[in-house]
Amino acid sequence: MEIKVLGPLMAESGGTSVVPSAGKPRQILALLSVYANQVMPVPTLMEEIWGADMPRSALTTLQTYILQLRRLIAGALGPDSPYTAREVLATRHGGYLLEVTPGSVDVHEYDRLVATGRGAAERGDDESAAALYRDALAMWRGPALVDVRLGPLLEIELVRLEESRLGVLEQRIDSDLRLGRHMQLLAELTSLTARHPLHEGLHAQCMVALYRSGRQWQALDVFQNLRRGLADELGLDPSARLQHLHRAVLAGDPALDSHLARRRPVLDLFAA
């Protein structure tokens, strides 16, 4: 079975979808998919579906939803499959488990690529790190679980994934900057700072890329735009690290040159 949650929910076997059209069974499939190969306790599944407003029939209704999912899985597997639907969506003591082969769920593969990329970055292999981060980010097909109703557990997972996506993007750009790709990054960073007008890390990266491309005045403009945005929206000043970076750009500090940046993220180059 192939399962994708980094975008609209997709789950299919042999080209046949097993995603139900009804909202609550779809929600259960999404949760079981995110935690595939782990037992999901019955109370956890019921909390995801109903929250604190749990009906008396919750357990029976949940069992009905599981039965619906198994029927869809059985139809996709076909009569010649060596596995049965009850083996794929298995009952375990106190819960249910969606059993899949390693790498068949996109979010698990995404997490693996990110972890491998971080290992490469820690070893100083920015070429491999950038490529691995790029592969991980390419797995996203849009906002995660965009067509699934979210309960408390899926909401937490969605926040984690969106934070991870932005963090991995920053780490990939840091690797690319250390590889001297500042000019190739300019268009992407200009777009990202427009989409995230209060994000200091992306603005710092944009400033450094512009500075290294011989556009010091534009790097200073990026800082001023962020400062105005923070003041207008939050009543805050840029962080001390970003102010130090601003002063370094003004002074033409040699530490801004790519060959001196070493392994530190851009925003940490001038940390106090």
In a domain, 192, yes or no: yes
The vertex-20 CA angle with 15 and 22, nearest 5°, equals 160
The whole-number pLDDT of residue 271 equals 63
Q: Tell me the mean pLDDT in the region 39-66.
A: 94
Place of tokens 């049965």: 84
Question: Quick one: angle between helices 152-178 and 200-212, nearest 10?
Answer: 20
Judge whether 148 and 154 are in contact, CB under 8 Å.
yes
Task: Return d(Cα 115, Cα 119) in angstroms, integer.
Answer: 6
Q: What is the pLDDT of residues 234-271, one digit of tens each?
A: 999 999 999 999 999 999 988 888 655 556 677 777 66
In a domain, 122, yes or no: no
Q: Tell me the mean pLDDT in the region 125-144.
A: 97
In a domain, 139, yes or no: no
What single letter denotes the amino acid at residue 44?
A: T
- Which of the pair, 254 or 44, is modelled with greater confidence? 44
pLDDT(24) > 60: yes
CATH label of the domain that carries residue 16:
1.10.10.10
The whole-number pLDDT of residue 266 equals 75
Q: What is the pLDDT of residues 76-101, one digit of tens each?
A: 998 888 889 999 999 999 999 999 99
Count other Cβ atoms within 10 Å, centred on residue 130. 23
Task: Return d(Cα 217, Cα 268) in angstroms, integer.
Answer: 22
Domain residue limits at 211: 181-271
In a domain, 8, yes or no: yes
Chain-wide mean pLDDT for the chain?
93
CATH label of the domain that carries residue 187:
1.25.40.10
- Which of the pair, 78 or 26, is modelled with greater confidence? 26
Q: What is the DSSP letter of 237?
A: P
In a domain, 173, yes or no: no
Q: Tell me which of 98, 119, 134 is where a domain ends.
A: 98
Task: Return d(Cα 220, Cα 207) in angstroms, integer.
Answer: 7
Q: Tell me which of 78, 98, 118 is where a domain ends.
A: 98
In a domain, 22, yes or no: yes
pLDDT(272) > 60: no
Q: Tell me which of 57, 73, 98 is where a domain ends.
A: 98
Judge whether 169 and 177 are in contact, CB under 8 Å.
no
The whole-number pLDDT of residue 263 equals 63
Judge whether 176 and 127 are in contact, CB under 8 Å.
no
Task: Return d(Cα 7, Cα 140) in angstroms, integer.
Answer: 6
| CA distance to 86, 242, 256, 257, per residue, from 248 (Å) | 63, 10, 7, 11
Q: Tell me the mean pLDDT in the region 206-223.
A: 96
In a domain, 33, yes or no: yes
Judge whether 27 and 154 are in contact, CB under 8 Å.
yes
Count other Cβ atoms within 10 Å, centred on residue 228. 11
What's the structural domain count of the chain?
2
Place of tokens 């992407």: 188
Share of the chain above pLDDT 70, in %: 96
In a domain, 116, yes or no: no
pTM for the structure as a whole: 0.90
Task: Return d(Cα 100, Cα 45) in angstroms, integer.
Answer: 19
